[in-house]
Structure 1
Amino acid sequence: MKFVFFSPQFPASSIEFCDRLHKAGATVLGIGDASYSHLAPRLKNVLGEYYRVADMEDADQVLRAMGHFIHRWGRIDRFESLNEHWLEKDAAVRTDFNIPGIRSDFIENLKHKSKMSAFFKKAGVQTIRQHKYSSRAGVEAFVAEVGYPIVIKPDQGSGASNTVKIDGKQGLDAFETAKLPGVSYVAEEFIDGIVLTYDGLVDRDGQVVFAASHRFEQSIMDVVNTNSHLNYYCLPFIDPEVEEAGRAAVKAFGIREKFFHIEFFQTRADKRIVALEINMRPPGAWMTDAINYSYDMDVYREWAQMVVHNTVGGPFTGRYYTGYASRKNHIRYVNDHRAIVAAHGEKIVHFAPIEDVFSRAMGNFAYQFRSEDFEEVRAIVRFIQDSEC
């Protein structure tokens, strides 16, 4: 298999995916905007060739890179970035060069939140009531139906960027003034709940061959808008209702040979499962590593084996709750790094700074830790994030 990895140098987890592809027997070819000399040695060691482009957004430069690879290596079997930002670019290149995978004719269904709901409904999964933000009058009519608060977000995009909670008419007035020109928005009913994810691998035959779940008790929207720190947990089990809804969604979207990341709300009042969105990529924010720590596995390897050979090992059994707790530079914390390591070093499995581009949501520095006791993991989160303000 000849696999072109788009942006193999960023984010850092891309290196792990490239490494496992190489070990699975694939020829890994890279296209990126970093100079070759700046690539990590581990990445250089697994790339059959690297083609630098000055601007990864420039379609002509990417097409020339692909032309070079085809001339030198022959037919390209896969093209992938595993990155939400490049979803449309990935599909365009696959379409232009007849490479298996999601093509341009389907990509709109994955880019726009307003289009995702049709597939969740096809799957029989309850979805958030939603309204395309085309006029103030239309949004007010939507509010009359669902009531305040509502959430307004860009129809296209990932994370919680430019997402706001509107509590009343004054907030809607402020949004009308601040909204970005040329951006399409959707209004959604506000769901009071936690987020449970369904993350995993689906093979070439459309079968879910591995899955895991993360629990977010904080609102990412609030974390971003208040510039606060974040925590979440990888669970050693999947809620049965999340499993049922997730499998139905994977089938409805017709996903093949992909890593997927699906987000559901679990309402606080009555524990209903409500679909939020689907992403055709690995979960972010160190969540792939959290899966490895919770299940004592190498999910990068399993993904690569699935792509190259359509096989996955296992079965894998969850054992640990793996926590993630970030810190922000502007917050004064009670316990410093030395105290954290002294108190919980035997449970900590990883700590490192976060790339600046992700820091607004993910923090400036983060820790991962695991235990078979969920309450112990919660206590470590509190110890790390206990602040003086």
Structure 2
Amino acid sequence: MNVVIINNLARFPGTARWDFDLVRYEDFIDHRAHRVSYIANRRGLSAITARVDSCRVYEFDRLDDAAAYRPVLAEIAREHGPIDRLIVFSESLQDLGAQLREEFGIPGKWPEENRLGRDKLVMKQKVTAAGLRTPRYTAVTALMIDHAIAFAAGTGYPVILKPINGQSSQGVRKIDSEAQLRMAMAALPAEEHWDLEEYIAGILLHVDGLVDTAGKVTLLVPSRYVNTCLDFTFGAPLGAIMLEPGTALHATVTRFSKQCIEAIGLKACPFHLELFHTADDDLVFLEVGARVGGADVPSVIHQATGINLFGEWLNMSLGQPATLSAPPRSIGAWLMFPRPAGLPLRVQSVTRFHGRLRSLYRQLVPEEGEVIEHEDGYCSMQSGRFLFAASSADQVVKDVEHVLSEFSITTIEP
């Protein structure tokens, strides 16, 4: 096959950081049997560890400009024949990858199919049509202020306003009054559609797994968030704890999540689904991404099941044998504390927990004297990142709660 990989995910071999250490292209693809070309930015070059004579590498300053790819893809096609696969793991590049596949006739997800895991309006339409609960929602533009106000009057405040294809809670706003809604609507980009939806009170869950080429969910791992991604943007710690198999909630969430994935029509990909568990014991679909979950989700799933979501995604994409299911061997959890405000800052002290907690198997905290700089993404140097695994859910919960209560970091100006 003639395979092109677009990569902006960083690896840090030889360090304590585990950022994207499961993205092992050289292990997933036989570079001797296939012609492999990489297109990466400077950050993404760190994940390309194949022998230099086994592939071709193109470095771009930016990876978000479709026009920059066209001459490179045309050159690769002239030299090696039609491109058989275009591999893109990053959520921020899924739309671009789908566009390029369609332009160059490359098999895989084209824009229409890609929207199923990107467009929050489309996915909610499909879930609602299947008789499953979603927040009440409507599409709005900057010119639809009266429509937005009428919608909010019907649902009651607060309401949530967010991009239809956003990620990591970027651009998401919780709006508490008509005055706030008017201001938010007036600030929207002209003619751009946004998602205005009912606020759902409840516990936020994330559900991760794999769906095969026929659209059957083969792996499903539900977890309960510790706070939310939106809370994290305001300085709260973020994490999640896997639900214990065999419990009534695990069974209900598993059934509901499979129904949602099948209703949307995802195929041959991992998924990261979010839903609410309300005080009335109802489940409410929020959104789904047709990609590997962010933060430390893939690390926890790999520890618990032995399955590398990135590797099996690529195996399905290439038509290679894939391991798409495995029973959990442990209950896992992840937890991170955001960087302090006012960066750059030098670390004076930071709490460490190794050897003190039974389920904690990995931690990443900055060293005393280290200067913390700004980095994009959850998988980066934060104030602290912690991974947990144990056979007992009670033990994991206890240890996560201990870290939440005891962790601290002090900093000074560099």
Q: Structure 1-normalised TM-score?
A: 0.85
Q: Where do 5+ consecutive residues of structure 2 fail to align?
A: 12-18, 342-348, 367-372, 410-414
CA RMSD of aligned residues (A): 3.4
CA apart distance, 1:228 = 1.9
1:246-269 Cα offsets, whole Å, 9 max, x none, are 3233333332221222221111x1
Match of 1:286 among 285, 296, 318: 296
Distance across 2 between alignment mates of 1:63 and 1:167: 45
Indicate yes or no: 2:276 matched with 1:261: no
Report the 3-state secondary structure (helix = DSSP H, G, I; strand = E; otherwise coil) of the residue aligned with 1:251. helix
d(CA) in 2 for partners of 1:325, 1:99:
39
Is 1:348 aligned to 2:332, yes or no? no
Where in structure 1 are there 5+ consecutive unaligned residues?
none
> Which amino acid in 1 is paired with 2:105?
N
> Contact 1:139 / 1:187 at 8 angstroms: preserved in 2?
yes
Cα offset for 1:313?
A: 3.1
For 2:200, the equivalent position in structure 1 comes to 191
Equivalent AA in structure 2 for residue 291 of structure 1: I
Structural mapping, 1:26-41, within 5 Å: 27-34=35-42, 39-40=46-47
Residue 390 (structure 2) aligns with:
371
1:94/1:352 CA distance change after superposition, 3 Å: farther
Question: Once the two structures are superposed, what CA deviation does each residue of 1:213-267 show, in whole Å capped at 9, x if it has no partner?
Answer: 222142322221x222212123454823332333233333332221222221111
Give 3-state SS (helix, strand or coil) of 1:356's partner: coil
Q: List aligned pairs for 1:201-240, cutoff 5 A.
A: 201-224=210-233, 226-235=234-243, 237=245, 239-240=250-251
Cα distance in 1, alignment partners of residues 48 and 165 from structure 2: 35
Q: Deviations over 1:330-349 (max 9, x none)?
A: 38xxxx65641131276323
Q: Work out whether residues 234 and 291 of structure 1, in 8 Å CA contact, stay in contact via their aligned partners in 2.
A: no
From the superposition, tell whether residues 99 and 152 of structure 1 become closer, same or farther in structure 2 (CA, over 3 Å). Answer: same
Contact 1:197/1:262 (8 A) holds in 2: yes
Aligned with 1:277 (options 284, 287, 300): 287
Q: How far off its partner does 1:352 sit?
A: 5.9
Contact 1:17 1:304 in 2 (8 A): no
Distance 1:41 1:110 in 2: 27
* 8 Å CA contact retained: 1:77, 1:100: yes
Shift of 1:366: 0.8
The 2-side partners of 1:45 and 1:229 are apart by: 40
Residue type of the alignment partner of 1:20: D
- Structure 1 residue 110, shift from structure 2 partner: 4.0
Residue in structure 1 matching 2:148, options 125, 134, 139: 139
Whose helix fraction is larger, Structure 1's or Structure 2's?
Answer: 1
Corresponding position of 1:323: 333
Alignment partners' CA distance in 2, 1:339 and 1:108 = 42
Decide whether aligned partners of structure 1 residues 239 and 349 sit closer, same or farther in structure 2, where only a CA change above 3 A counts: same
Deviation, 1:29, is: 2.2
Deviates most, 72-81 or 229-238: 229-238
| CA deviation vs aligned residue, 1:41-87 (integer Å, no higher than 9, x gap) | 63556962212234322323211221222223323221121222112
TM-score normalized by the length of structure 2: 0.80
Is it true that 1:305 corresponds to 2:315 in the alignment? yes
